[in-house]
Amino acid sequence: MFSNQAFAVITAVVAILLSIAKVFLEPEPELPDNNLILESIESMFLNSWNDYTQYGYGSDIYAPISHNHRNFTGDDKPMGWIIVDSLDTMMQMYNYTLAENVNVTLYKTTDGSIDQSKLDSIASRNEQFKEAILKAQDWIQNTLDYDINAPVNVFETTIRMLGGLLSAYYYSTELQIGNPNVYLEKAVDLGDRLILSLEYSEIGIPYSSINLQTGNPIRNHVDDGASSTAEFTTLQLEFKYLSFLTQNDKYWKLVEKVYKPLYENNNLTSPHFDGLIPIYTVPETGKFFGENIRLGSRGDSFYEYLLKQYLLTHEQIYYDLYRISIEGVKKHLVSKSSINGIVFIGEKEFGLDSKGLSPKMDHLVCFIGGVLAMGATEGLPIEVAKEQAFWDEKRQEDWDLAQEITFTCYQMYDQIPSGLAPEIVVFDDGTSDISTNNWYQSFYNDFYVKPNDAHNLQRPEAVESLMFMYHLTKEKKYRQWGYQILQKFKENASIKDENDTDDSTIRYTSLENCFDVPTEKRDNLESFWLAETLKYFHLLFQDDVDLTKVVYNTEAHPFPVLDPKVLEEMSLTTGWTLDI
Ligand code: DMJ
């Protein structure tokens, strides 16, 4: 009937159709009661937190399997890495479990009475969060001392420590828990030390590190001394909010000074770049070093902070710059996998003038779904946003891309045996035969993973985008995807002691390889598991999240949206222009 060749072609076509059907038509599981999910996220946080408290409290680096711990700096003074980064997640969970915020009718049993044991368990978690917050406040006030004679990374310390202190100030004021001034005083002390890195720079672009005690700025030891472009363009939210709180415009002026040389000395809006930044910059000249353009590490939050400055302060220039860059992303970096047509964002390693697009995508890139969605809607529900005067074709395109990329990021979990995403994937875009490389292959052949990239650090970006997409659309699928990922963290990233019979030693850790099941664990707790991933999970399952009121910094620390009129009265306004 059929020749062998025809039969092979038919089999291949059927396999492709089946794979497409599997990717797009997989039945979505029913979700358990929302309150049960929130309860389990709070318990996961407390599991990790209590273990850290028992064995490593105060240390910057913690290994949950061995319980080993140490500090970052040669000075051996703690930076507060885990405590400060986690504090506002505890405040968020504390607020959610407060008796006056609990809707008791949700805890009715079938006979109409209230399930008291459930209420007791919420009250107990609330008490645990309260104790943990007050203990952390005490530690910050009495132990944490930023007079550290050692170099620290300016960007990481700003987004995690300064960001964490400022959001703790904001939440403790709003929720009336503890003493907000403890956080603000520490933030000012740290901010004054970090800002020297910008003050010392001739053209405004800082070196990558600074000695917190001496104020000595330290040039990057590798990459020919170049600073990471995303690093010095991801300080602006924190220092602008600090200026607002202290009524001191010094911080605001210094952090916005980085942009003029960056845009003008490189002609960044010209077709040679189309608003897309190479990942390194020479701090003395503001000129890019190398041509490597990507939305992954060292490139990512440049784009995020253009939009988020606009959302926080409503300075129009930052929306205009964001628009130019996002048009550049859509024009140069978007492509599709060849089998299922899954949309991905690739890299231009040798600049925009080079041929082709590298189909490599870091998990870090998954933040862009949420950013595109917030850029299109400005935090309004999508149906409301579409009614606004600002809605146009470009925002519609951004919105479509946000949905596509968020789906892709879910696929980066769903197509992996452990259900948890690897650090980096390489999409099969049909331009070269990567199936022969001996790399791991995803279930439906959309992407491959190099053995060295198969680890999972419990990163937040995919869950972050799910959270934004859910609250802007209320589409159930985003919670279903999030729930599936949450369950996989429980199954495959948890550990407990051998003789533990009551699960009291459960805690969470990174994975060596997300293709192996059972998974091999890596003895490492990243502070963003507590600061970001669990916070975004918790927000995903909360109702009534209003995304027009707060802006989350790149480490998920929330700052309140600032009133442009008040900013003007305080003379906190943009001090530079660009001919676009
Ligand atoms: C976080 O520290 C921040 O989100 C940063 O911008 C990059 N990614 C890590 C978490 O993955």
Active site residue 202: no
* pLDDT for 374: 99
State the Cα–Cα distance between residues 120 and 126, nearest whole angstrom: 10
Does ligand 1 come within 6 angstroms of the Cβ of 527? no
* pLDDT for 74: 79
Mean pLDDT of 82-105: 96
Q: In this structure, is residue 30 part of a structural domain?
A: no
42, 156, 304, 414: the catalytic one is: 156
Q: In this structure, is residue 7 part of a structural domain?
A: no
- Asked if pLDDT for residue 279 goes beyond 60, the answer is yes
- Most ligand 1 atoms within 8 A of CB, residue of 84, 156, 159 to mutate: 159
- Asked if pLDDT for residue 283 goes beyond 70, the answer is yes
* pLDDT for 22: 62
DSSP 439: -
Ligand 1 mean position to 555 CA, how many Å?
6
Q: Which atom of ligand 1 is nearest to the CA of 297?
A: 7
Does ligand 1 come within 6 angstroms of the Cβ of 301? yes
233 is in an annotated binding site: no
Does ligand 1 come within 6 angstroms of the Cβ of 554? yes
Residue located via tokens 């802006």 = 551
Active site residue 423: yes
Give the pLDDT band of residue 2 (cuts 50, 70, 90).
low
Please report, for the domain that includes residue 466, its CATH number. Answer: 1.50.10.10
Q: Decide if 238 contacts 158 (C-beta within 8 A).
A: yes
State the Cα–Cα distance between residues 491 and 440, nearest whole angstrom: 21
Mean pLDDT of 387-403: 98
- What are the tokens at 50? 């209590």
60, 300, 362, 414: the catalytic one is: 300
- Most ligand 1 atoms within 8 A of CB, residue of 294, 308, 468, 554 to mutate: 554
- What are the tokens at 574? 């943009």
Q: Which atom of ligand 1 is nearest to the CA of 300?
A: 6
Ligand 1 mean position to 135 CA, how many Å?
26
Does ligand 1 come within 6 angstroms of the Cβ of 459? yes
Helix (H) or strand (E) holding 181: helix 180-194
DSSP letter for each residue of 454-465: --B----HHHHH
Q: What angle do CA 503, 516, 487 make, to 5 degrees?
A: 45
Whole-prediction pTM: 0.95
pLDDT tens-digit readout, 424-462: 999 999 998 887 789 999 999 999 999 999 999 999 999
Q: What angle do CA 68, 71, 74 make, to 5 degrees?
A: 130
Average pLDDT of the chain, as a whole number: 95
Helices (H) and strands (E) in the chain, counts: 22, 19
Q: Which atom of ligand 1 is nearest to the CA of 556?
A: 4
Active site residue 498: no
Phi–psi pair at 437, nearest 5 degrees: -85, 0
State the Cα–Cα distance between residues 212 and 70, nearest whole angstrom: 19
DSSP letter for each residue of 375-404: HHHTTS-HHHHTTSTT--HHHHHHHHHHHH
The dihedral sign for the CA sequence 27, 32, 35, 38: negative
State the Cα–Cα distance between residues 446 and 19, nearest whole angstrom: 10
State the Cα–Cα distance between residues 10 and 454, nearest whole angstrom: 34
Does ligand 1 come within 6 angstroms of the Cβ of 535? no
Q: In this structure, is residue 144 part of a structural domain?
A: yes
Q: In this structure, is residue 9 part of a structural domain?
A: no
pLDDT tens-digit readout, 162-194: 999 999 999 999 999 999 999 999 999 999 999
Ligand 1 mean position to 365 CA, how many Å?
10
Q: In this structure, is residue 22 part of a structural domain?
A: no
Q: In this structure, is residue 117 part of a structural domain?
A: yes
Give the pLDDT band of residue 525 (cuts 50, 70, 90).
very high
State the Cα–Cα distance between residues 434 and 447, nearest whole angstrom: 9
- Most ligand 1 atoms within 8 A of CB, residue of 459, 536, 552, 553 to mutate: 459
Active site residue 397: no
- Asked if pLDDT for residue 499 goes beyond 60, the answer is yes
Q: Decide if 376 contacts 385 (C-beta within 8 A).
A: yes
Q: Which domain holds residue 522?
A: 48-570
Q: Taking Cα atoms as reference points, which of 343, 369, 331 lies closest to residue 427?
A: 343
- What are the tokens at 378? 């400005």
- Asked if pLDDT for residue 3 goes beyond 80, the answer is no
Q: In this structure, is residue 97 part of a structural domain?
A: yes
If one counts every other C-beta atom within 10 angstroms of the C-beta of residue 271, the result is 10
Ligand 1 mean position to 209 CA, how many Å?
17
State the Cα–Cα distance between residues 548 and 255, nearest whole angstrom: 24
Helical H segments across 65-153, by residue range: 81-96, 116-142
* pLDDT for 16: 57
Number of domains observed in the structure of the chain: 1
Q: What angle do CA 543, 546, 550 make, to 5 degrees?
A: 130
Go through the chain and tell me how many residues it has.
580
- Asked if pLDDT for residue 373 goes beyond 80, the answer is yes
* pLDDT for 106: 87
Q: In this structure, is residue 25 part of a structural domain?
A: no
Give the pLDDT band of residue 4 (cuts 50, 70, 90).
low
State the Cα–Cα distance between residues 19 and 243, nearest whole angstrom: 53
- Asked if pLDDT for residue 272 goes beyond 70, the answer is yes
Sort strands 550-552 and 440-441 into parallel, antiparallel or unpaired. unpaired
* pLDDT for 367: 98
